[in-house]
Structure 1
Amino acid sequence: MLHPQRYTLVQGLVDSIHELLLYLDGWQCVHVMESRNQPALEIAQSVIKENRVSSYIARGGPRWLQERLSAKAKFR
């Protein structure tokens, strides 16, 4: 999304998502450096590694995630 000219193969998908987001109030897309968003990276890695096909975050997430988020919150 930061450099759409680099990702022309997914531009149609990005456009479709953007069109759907127009129906939502108050959404935003913010770039965060990977080093500042470690929990999101760990979630993505666990989904790939553990072959998860449904959202486990919506159910409260695993204990390691809760611990990680609590630790991150202490440093802010």
Structure 2
Amino acid sequence: MDRQQILDLYQWSDGTCFRHPAEGAQPTIHLKTIRPTAGGLQDVRACQTCVLELEIQHAATAAAESAPYSPGHVVRDLDE
């Protein structure tokens, strides 16, 4: 799959990437909601660049473990 095909597997909405907050609002996916020790809830969102990097890491991990890999499951994998 090419870059755009992988990105098309996700639902995007404007938000702030947890790794690139200085970039401001940009297309992101919701990765997880966390409860900071200071209280409240905080959504963790990732931009397209970060999602592609996470996909590369998942593919490498799957290959190292001789496990199957298919893109589009970064969020599900984080919750497992």
Shorter-chain TM-score tier: under 0.3
Higher normalized strand content (fraction of residues): 2
Q: Choose 1 or 2 for highest CA Rg.
A: 1
Say which structure, 1 or 2, has more relative contact order (CA 8 Å, 6+ apart). Answer: 2
